[in-house]
Structure 1
C-alpha cells in the first residue's frame, strides 16, 4: 500500500532505541470518572507492544473531548495512565503537557522499551488549527512519528497531519488494518459488492450515497432515510419520519444509480406502529401502504429475505447504519437478523464484511456479532468520510508518493 508501516521502521539508533511519537485515539467514553468502553485502548496495544519490544521509546499523544485550547481538569488524559498500563501489562509514565520543557524532559528520561503518555493535545488551541509551532513542538520530542489513530485521520490537526510532515511518518498496526479493510471494501474489492446504508436522514449521507452508487453493485437503503425514498416515489408513509425537502434529491440518486448500473434495494415491507415505544403493538405492511397515523420503525421479513438473497451472491459487504430503531425492541429485529446472516456468511462462504460508524458498531454488538465480521471499524467520522470518497489528511500525510 502507498504508505510506510512499522515494517519500514527501524526502531534503533546508534545511541539506543528511537523515540517514537505515537498518535493514538484515547478519546474513550467516560462516565462518572470511569471508562465505560476500553475498545480503543485495547486496539492500540499491539502497536505499542511491538515498538516497545523492539526497543523503541514510545511517546503516546492523543486528544480527549473538546477542551477548546484550555486546561479542563475533567478532560485530562491522566486517568488513562492506569488503564493503558493495565492493558499493556507494563508501566506507563506521565507528562503533564504534550509539548514544552516538561514533555521534553519526560521524553528524554525514557529508556529503551519504556512508554510515556502526554497530556491532552487539545489543551493547546493550536492543535485543531494545525499550528506549525505546536507541530514543531511535538516533532522535537521524537525521531519518528507513527499514526495509529485512523479515527482522527479526517482532521488536519497538529498531532495528525502537521507533525507527520516534520518526521519520518509511518502507519501503526491499527491504522494499517483500517486502510487494508477499506481498500478491500471499496478500493479493490472482490465483486459483487453490496452496501447497506441506514440512518435517519438522507441529507446527512448525500456524499456517501453519491459515491457508493458508482462503487457498488447493490445499494441497500434502510432506516428512516428509506422512508424519504419511498415517499419520493409517491408512497403514503403515514407519520413516518422522512424529509419532504429531499424528495427531488432522492429521485436524482435513484436516477444516478440506474445510469451507473447500481441496483438500489428499498424496503418491500415495513414494520409499523402507532407509537415509538418498547414492545409497542406492531403490524407489517407493504412498503407503499403505511396507514395514516402509523409510522415505519423497521423493515419487514420480505425485505430481510431480499437483503439476504443479495448477500448470498455477494463477495464484499460494506455496512453503515441500521435498518430500524434497533435500540428499542421489537424494532431491532431486521438489523439483528441481517447481522447474524452476515456473520454466518462471513464464516461459511468467505464474505468480506466491513462495517463501521457509531450506530452500526452498537447494532452489531447488540446482535452479538461484532467480533464475527471481517472488520468492524470504530472510527466513526473518518470511516464515513472515507466511504464518501474524501481525502483524509492524516492518511495523506503518510503516503510515500
Structure 2
C-alpha cells in the first residue's frame, strides 16, 4: 500500500504526528489512557526512525486559550508511557519555530482559531515545523481541520498503525456484512443526527435512544425509543422492543449508551439492550468512548467482533464509505524530500 508508514519514509525527517489526545482529564491527571495506548506503537516507531517528532493534538472544544484545557497533563502521561522526555512548546511561543529536542509537543491546537477553520495560513505555519506528516487520530478523521485535511496537501503523508487498523477493520466488516443490519445509536451529541439520512440507506433498521430521539422525525426504518419522564433513560418497554429486533440481526452496529449510563439509576435500558446484543450470533461492531466504557463496565468486551475507539468517525465511514482525513492522505505528495 502506497501510504503505509515505513522506516524509509521517516528516515532523516521531522515528522508532524497528529495524535488523538482528546482524553478525559481530572485533577490534572488522565483518567483513561486507552486512546494514548492505541497510538503508542506509532509514536515509538516515529521516535525510533525519524530525526525528530512534533506531536499535534487537541483537547475538548476551547474558545481560544484556556489553561484548564492545556495538553500538559496529557503530554505528561505520554512521557510516562513512552519513558522518554517530551519538550512542550509554551503556547505563547506560537508556531513556526524549530526545536532541537527529539520529541516536541504543541499545546492544544484548538487554542488556535485556524485549526477548526482549516485556515491555509495556519496550515502552512504548522507544515513549516516538519517535513512529513503522519495521522494517527482516527477519532477526528471525519472532520476537516488544518491538522487533519490541510497538512496532507502540504507534506508527504502516511496513516499511523492504529488509524490503518481501524480503517481496515471497518472496510472488512462492511464487505462481509450480513443482513439484517441493525444499528443502535444513543448519546447526547447532536451532530450524530447529521448522518441519519445516509445511515438509513445502509442499514435495515436504525434504533435511536437517548436525547437524540427529540431531534428527529419518525420515518421508514427508524425506530425511536420512548424515554422515561426525566428523559435520562429509555423505558423498559422500548428496551424490550429493541432487544427483540436485535435478536433478528445479522450485523449489529452500536454507538452511544441509551441513557445516562454512568448513573446507576439510569443504566437499565443500556444494560438490557447491551446484554441482548451480546447474546446474539450477529457480527457486532461498537465504537465511541462512552460505548466502550459501558461495554467494559458490563464485562462484554469478548462478545463484540470489533471495538473502535472512535464513534463519530465510525458512523461517518459507515454512512459515506470514506473519511475526509483518509481522502486527504490518499491525495498527498507521495515521497519526502531527500535529506
Asked whether the two chains share a fold, i.e. TM above 0.5, the reply is yes
Give SS of 1:398's match: helix
Aligned counterparts of 2:21 and 2:64: Cα–Cα separation in 1: 17
Mapped contact 1:161–1:397 kept (Cα < 8 A): yes
Give SS of 2:116's match: coil
Superposed displacement of residue 57, structure 1 = 2.4
Superposed displacement of residue 337, structure 1 = 4.6
Unpaired segments ≥5 residues, structure 1: 229-241, 258-263, 279-294
- 1:163 to 2:151 alignment: yes
Query: What is the match of residue 219 of structure 1?
Result: 205
Normalised by the length of structure 2, the TM-score is: 0.80
Query: What is the match of residue 235 of structure 2?
Result: 296
Q: Choose the corresponding residue for 2:313, options 378, 382, 396.
A: 382
Normalised by the length of structure 1, the TM-score is: 0.69
Superposed displacement of residue 296, structure 1 = 2.7
Mapped contact 2:54–2:104 kept (Cα < 8 A): yes
Superposed displacement of residue 397, structure 1 = 0.7
Deviations for 1:4-62, whole angstroms, at most 9, x for unmatched residues? Answer: 231486221xxxx3211101121222222222221221112111112223345221111
* Higher helix proportion: 2
Mapped contact 2:15–2:130 kept (Cα < 8 A): yes
- 1:148 to 2:136 alignment: yes
Superposed displacement of residue 148, structure 1 = 0.8
Mapped contact 2:200–2:206 kept (Cα < 8 A): no
- 1:26 to 2:14 alignment: no
Q: Choose the corresponding residue for 1:42, options 27, 37, 61.
A: 37
Aligned counterparts of 1:367 and 1:206: Cα–Cα separation in 2: 27
Aligned counterparts of 1:300 and 1:74: Cα–Cα separation in 2: 39
**138-147 or 153-162, larger mean C-alpha shift:** 153-162
For the pair shown, which has the larger CA radius of gyration, 1 or 2? 1
Query: What is the match of residue 72 of structure 2?
Result: 78
CA spacing shift, 1:301–1:119, aligned 2, 3 Å: closer
Name the count of aligned residue pairs.
331
Give SS of 2:252's match: strand
Q: Choose the corresponding residue for 1:115, options 103, 125, 134.
A: 103
CA spacing shift, 1:213–1:77, aligned 2, 3 Å: closer
Deviations for 1:245-276, whole angstroms, at most 9, x for unmatched residues? Answer: x5xx41xx31xx4xxxxxx7777xx8x97777
Give SS of 2:253's match: strand
Give SS of 1:215's match: coil
Q: Choose the corresponding residue for 2:176, options 189, 192, 217.
A: 189
- 1:357 to 2:303 alignment: no
Mapped contact 1:343–1:373 kept (Cα < 8 A): yes
CA spacing shift, 1:304–1:32, aligned 2, 3 Å: same
Q: Choose the corresponding residue for 1:332, options 267, 272, 275.
A: 267
Mapped contact 2:202–2:318 kept (Cα < 8 A): no
Unpaired segments ≥5 residues, structure 2: 333-339
Query: What is the match of residue 300 of structure 2?
Result: 369
Aligned counterparts of 1:225 and 1:371: Cα–Cα separation in 2: 28
Give SS of 2:22's match: coil
CA spacing shift, 1:155–1:73, aligned 2, 3 Å: same
Mapped contact 2:62–2:69 kept (Cα < 8 A): yes
Aligned counterparts of 2:159 and 2:125: Cα–Cα separation in 1: 21
CA spacing shift, 1:275–1:65, aligned 2, 3 Å: closer
Deviations for 1:66-117, whole angstroms, at most 9, x for unmatched residues? Answer: 34343x322222222320011123222322248545x41x2xx14xxx4222
